[in-house]
Amino acid sequence: MVAGSVLMPGIVSELMGKEVSNPLAPRRAHFAPKAKRVIFMNMSGGVSHVDTFDHKPQLYRDHGREIDKSDHPEIQNRPGYEKIFLKKPQWKFKPHSQCGKEVSELFPEVARSVDDVCFISSMHTGHSNHYNATLGMHTGSFTVTRPSIGAWVSYGLGTVNQNLPSFVVIAPQSPYAGGQVWGSDLLPGAHQGTRVVPGATPVPNITPLVARNLQEFELAELRKRNQRHLDSQQSNTELATRMRAFETAFGMQMAVPETFNLGQESDATHKLYGLERGQTNGFGWQCLAARRMAERGVRFVELIHTGSSGNWDSHGDMMDHARLARQVDRPIHGLLTDLKLRGMLDDTLVVWTTEFGRTPFNNSADAKGREHHNWAFTTFLAGAGVRGGHTHGATDEHGLRSVVDPVHTHDFHATILHLLGLNHQRLTYFHDGRDFRLTDVAGSVVQGILA
């Protein structure tokens, strides 16, 4: 057995003997999964729920009304908030599709897909700082480094394409918390996310410097020597990780150029994602690249949207949301539509999230921006095993707090793992004298969103 880990029931035989040297070997889930892979879209900076997907008519009617701070002890001593006033959204909402979900004018294209989407309107999280909330949304820990959700999924399920990483992150800029967002931390290093930066060469140094037959010979000889070394100390997970890294890098030299050759796609597909032929940046490029990786067996793909000039952290002016929404709206609809047309949405889980919401109030009703708000925000899921055209939970009449079926970040993670066939309480790793897991010591599967 691999020392330093708690093996999941049913996969012990897959990790014995020679398979110990391949931490990315495909593994059986705890139970039959609905999803085989995940595309995880992270809107960095804090998207306002009350301006996008959580319609609050009363917030329009009560615009300018002062809030009694005695009802909200968390902000009683907050500097600059001696008085707080409700602030209405700057965009109108209207119902869409058969389910009648009300979506704001910011997302007209996503609105066309709402019958395939399950919104969670009652999200809340454990911190109001970007760094901590981003870390929590990715790792389940709001204070110290822990493995990313993508690393946990890679550890639990391995990958089916040994020529590509199991976990890929497409990030034009580094997000809050940096590489910790896709780190493996205490898990074996093979499960760490591989960052791809959009551009003409999304993966640098991918072109071989020597002939392929020579590379194959060198890699085979290197593996023989490393395997003899590993046979004498099978607890050396770092060696197994390094061995796997050599092989993955070799396979990527073949697979990566083809995977990121979007020129193979039709003009109609480019148009669906809002892409110009030859374009190598933008969220449309990220989404189409994610679909191509998903259909080639990459287990977990994260797309980080930080905006072309500033992220969703709209303290100064909520009109920044209009610019940012235009960058992602069509590509998100294009991705959902493309997956559905190809029959991939049936076994692909698409996740859209942000680290927290934004306040339905400010220290002036005329303030242009909104502040950080961890008491309530909205996320959505689509695809494998999810109730399309459904909204789970609710906030109060002003969008201040999650009051109906609240969903914490740990519950969100437990549900994603469940859809992948993983029991979040059994997906553990033994480290420093105790078991660790993505959901820490909390979390419940949100049954209400399951199809």
Residue 11 in this model has a pLDDT that exceeds 50: no
> What is the percentage of the chain residues whose pLDDT exceeds 90?
75
What is the arithmetic mean of pLDDT over 36-57? Answer: 98
pLDDT digits (tens, 9 = 90+) for 96-127: 999 999 999 999 999 999 999 999 999 999 99
Tell how far CA 412 is from the center of its chain: 11
14-23, 114-123, 184-193: which has the highest mean pLDDT? 114-123
Gap between the Cα atoms of 2 and 6, Å rounded: 8
pLDDT of residue 248: 72
Gap between the Cα atoms of 425 and 122, Å rounded: 23
Gap between the Cα atoms of 317 and 354, Å rounded: 18
pLDDT of residue 349: 98
205: which residues sit within 8 A by CB, 6+ positions away?
none
Strands 357-358 and 372-373 turn out to be: antiparallel
> What is the percentage of the chain residues whose pLDDT exceeds 70?
93
pLDDT digits (tens, 9 = 90+) for 267-279: 999 999 999 999 9
Gap between the Cα atoms of 336 and 161, Å rounded: 23
What is the arithmetic mean of pLDDT over 270-294? Answer: 97
pLDDT digits (tens, 9 = 90+) for 216-268: 777 778 878 888 887 887 666 677 767 767 777 777 777 888 999 999 999 99
Residue 20 in this model has a pLDDT that exceeds 50: no
Element (H, E) at 86: strand 85-86
Tell how far CA 438 is from the center of its chain: 14
Range list of β-strands (E), 298-440 = 300-305, 348-354, 357-358, 361-362, 372-373, 377-383, 390-392, 394-395, 402-404, 407-408, 429-431, 434-436
Q: How many CA atoms lie within 13 A of 299 on its CB side?
A: 29
Gap between the Cα atoms of 293 and 291, Å rounded: 5
Q: Which CATH architecture has domain 12-449?
A: 3-Layer(aba) Sandwich (3.40)
Confidence of residue 21 (pLDDT cuts 50, 70, 90): low
What is the arithmetic mean of pLDDT over 373-387? Answer: 97
Residue 14 in this model has a pLDDT that exceeds 50: no
pLDDT of residue 16: 30
The reported pTM is 0.90
Boundaries of every domain in the chain: 12-449
Distance (Å) of CA 259 to CA 87, 255, 293 = 46, 6, 7
pLDDT-wise least confident of 32-41, 182-191, 218-227, 407-416? 218-227
What is the arithmetic mean of pLDDT over 74-92? Answer: 85
pLDDT-wise least confident of 87-91, 196-200, 244-248, 292-296? 244-248
Residue 159 in this model has a pLDDT that exceeds 60: yes
pLDDT digits (tens, 9 = 90+) for 167-177: 999 999 999 99
pLDDT of residue 209: 67
- What sections of 89-211 are H helices per DSSP? 130-139, 149-157
Gap between the Cα atoms of 64 and 398, Å rounded: 12
- Closest C-alpha to 176, from 325, 302, 45: 45
Structure tokens at 125: 């999280």
